[in-house]
Amino acid sequence: MDFAAPSLKGRALRLLSQREHSRSELERKLAKYEEEPGTLAAALDELAAKDFISEVRVVQSVVHQRAPRMGAARVRQELQKKGIAPQAISEAVAALRDTELPRAREVWARRFDALPADQTERARQARFLIARGFGGEVVRRVLSDKGFDEDA
């Protein structure tokens, strides 16, 4: 039996059934299957018109999945990588700023059981938090002895 290859729209729907994808992600993943110029754009336009592709849902999905474990900088980086509009990224990151310190404390507490005893340990814990996208001021407050008393 000869099975026809899935259409661009079929491939896009398969990807969208697994998780939310931005339009630019779909363009990047499906470009190699486009046989005639313009067919991919037309297929994605049709899916966007039917609300199968939604930048708002992509942003919500990334924030929901990443914010509990990552700082605003990492969330911003991931949204940029997905090709989300700068305005949508700014709004999402601004909403995360209010909860940055408690989220950083929670991430730190899951990994470490005590505040750093020396500079080497302090640097190690700071690198851990910075690598997860938390800002320098937030890291300083988490790692300070009085960090859990401020704004608790």
pLDDT at 4: 66
Q: Do 7-53 and 54-98 come out as alike in CATH topology?
A: yes
In terms of Cα–Cα distance, which of 66, 5, 13, 71 is closest to 32? 5
Rounded mean pLDDT, 4-31: 91
pLDDT at 2 over 60: no
pLDDT at 150 over 50: no
Going by C-beta distance under 8 Å and a sequence separation of 6 or more, which residues neighbour residue 9?
A: 43, 46, 47
Q: What is the pLDDT of residues 91-125, one digit of tens each?
A: 999 999 889 999 999 999 999 989 998 999 999 99
In terms of Cα–Cα distance, which of 117, 108, 104 is closest to 145? 117
Instruction: Tell me the pLDDT band of 147, cut-offs 50, 70 and 90.
Output: very low
Q: What is the pLDDT of residues 31-80, one digit of tens each?
A: 999 888 889 999 999 999 999 999 999 999 999 999 999 999 999 999 99
pLDDT at 149 over 60: no
Q: Cα separation of 67 and 61, whole Å?
A: 10
pLDDT at 64: 95
Every domain of the chain and the residues it spans = 7-53, 54-98, 100-143
- The single-letter DSSP state of residue 6 is P
CA geometry: angle 130, 77, 51, nearest 5 deg: 145
The structural architecture, per CATH, of the domain 7-53 is: Orthogonal Bundle (1.10)
What is the fold, at CATH topology level, of the domain defined by 54-98? Arc Repressor Mutant, subunit A (1.10.10)
- The single-letter DSSP state of residue 117 is S
Q: Which two tokens stand for residue 104?
A: 């950083």
pLDDT at 7: 87
Considering only the top CATH level, what class is 100-143? Answer: mainly alpha
pTM of this prediction exceeds 0.85: no
Q: Which two tokens stand for residue 39?
A: 């067919």
Q: Which two tokens stand for residue 145?
A: 């002895």
pLDDT at 151 over 80: no
Instruction: Tell me the pLDDT band of 6, cut-offs 50, 70 and 90.
Output: confident
CA geometry: angle 43, 65, 16, nearest 5 deg: 15
